[in-house]
Structure 1
């Protein structure tokens, strides 16, 4: 059985004159990444490998999330092909993963993650918000065979905020 956790980067700031890849997180994006990670940790899911887009906002989100989970960064990679907005490159990446990995988490971008959550999961999501997380389980032994799975968990930061 395979499981994928798709987490969209936290809310980013547009106040700096930097390239898209260099845009930082806003304070809200940092807070939301903490909220979602703390909620996710309650599920007890063990992650075998974690990957992030090289964009600053995705990388920063991944570090917050993985630090809260006490995740060993030896099994973490930054992958250029995860800087994708359609979902095609992310899908190709996932389908090429080693079949020895059971549960992975990927930090990236929209529209790619909304598209993949709807393509792979069995619950329709209108839009995966910033710092939103979707966990999908597949009844497959090899990543190359994944097609349609079961959406096991959806965490949106808006549901967790107290203020």
Structure 2
């Protein structure tokens, strides 16, 4: 069995005149990230691997999760393939993941994560909000076979307020 956890980056700031990859999180994005990881941590699921988009807002959200989950900071990886908004690159990334990894957490962007949650999961989601988490399970042994799975857990900030 394989488990995939998609986490959309927290709410980011448009206040600064910076490249899209350099946009920072707002205070709300930081607070929401902490709320979501607190709720997820209670499930007792520790990923075998964690990957993040290179965008500052995604990496910052990822770091919030790493600290709370006690995941070694030096072991998460950044992948340019996760800086994707359609979902095509992210799906290719998932299908190429090492089969020794059973539970993987990805940090990235919309509309890619909403598209993947709907095309791979069992529950329709209108929109994965900022700091939103979608956990799916798949009865497969090889990531290349990822297709139809079960949406086993959804944690959105609005569920926790």
| TM-score, length basis structure 2 | 0.99
5+ long unaligned stretches in structure 2? none
TM superposition shift of 1:60: 0.2
Residue aligning to 1:4:
4
Match of 1:87 in 2: 87
Structure 1: which 5+ runs fail to align?
none
- SS of the residue corresponding to residue 153 of structure 2 reads strand
CA deviations 1:124-144 (Å, max 9, x no partner) are 000000000000000000000
Structure-1 residue corresponding to 2:37: 37
The alpha carbon displacement at 1:88 in A equals: 0.3
Kept in 2: contact 1:137–1:151 (CA 8 A): yes
Q: Deviation at 1:75? A: 3.0
Q: Deviations over 1:41-75 (max 9, x none)?
A: 00011210000000000000000011111112343
Q: How far is the alpha carbon of 1:159 from its aligned partner? A: 1.2
Length, aligned pairs only: 161
State the Cα deviation string for residues 69-110 of structure 1 (Å, max 9, x = none): 111234310001100000000000010001000000000000
Q: CA deviation at 1:158?
A: 1.1
Runs of 4+ in 1 over 6 A off after TM superposition: none
Match of 1:25 in 2: 25
Contact 2:46 2:69 in 1 (8 A): no
Matched, 1:149 2:149: yes
Contact kept in structure 2, 1:48 and 1:75, CA below 8 Å: no
3-state DSSP class of the match of 2:104? strand
